[in-house]
Amino acid sequence: MKRFSLFALLAAGLTLLTPQLAQNKNVATRIGFVDANALVQAHPDYKKVQEVQAQAKKELSPLEERLKPLDQKVRAGQATAKERQDYEALAKSYQDTLKKWQERQDAVLKPILEEVDQAIAKVAKAQGFAVVMSRQVAAQSGLVVYADDDTDLTQAVIRELKR
């Protein structure tokens, strides 16, 4: 009998406290989505990323053109020892050049991504969203089957980025 009384008192106490706890904190519960690619491309400094990509393509394209025929011969088993050696050297040069340009792009992209994340957080908080996910990732993973259009924050975040 004592157990029941203690349990009843505890349950009654929690019941009395629950409404007070709920009133003290306004908890955001909405889930939103953004088109992450559109946000990055809408950033005012995205042109810098495009410039780096254009420079990378300019340097990588000739290497790719030289690599293609050698790659076909190596895969077909028709390459001479010299051609295999040339292929390996060219492939290493291509990988090194690609890595160099990827690092340059990442350096330009990092502050853009940070600003996009800050804008997403600001808009989400202002509109009462507790969670914001990438629409593409959610769709590809099958994590989200349906989302109402009013959960898309992309345009609001773009407006925030342009301020």
Question: How many independent structural domains does the chain possess?
Answer: 1
Three-class secondary structure assignment of 87-132: HHHHHHHHHHHHHHHHHHHHHHHHHHHHHHHHHHHHHHHHHCEEEE
Pairwise CA distance, residues 78 & 97, whole Å: 27
Q: Which domain holds residue 153?
A: 2-161
Pairwise CA distance, residues 80 & 74, whole Å: 8
Pairwise CA distance, residues 7 & 12, whole Å: 8
**CATH code, domain with 103:** 3.30.910.20
Note down pLDDT in tens along the chain; length 163 residues.
444 443 333 344 444 444 444 455 666 789 999 999 999 999 999 999 999 999 999 999 999 999 999 999 999 999 999 999 999 999 999 999 999 999 999 999 999 999 999 999 999 999 999 999 999 998 899 888 888 888 999 999 999 999 8
Residue 134 φ then ψ, to 5°? -70, 125
For residue 34, give the 3-state DSSP assignment. strand
* pLDDT tens track for 18-65: 444 445 566 678 999 999 999 999 999 999 999 999 999 999 999 999
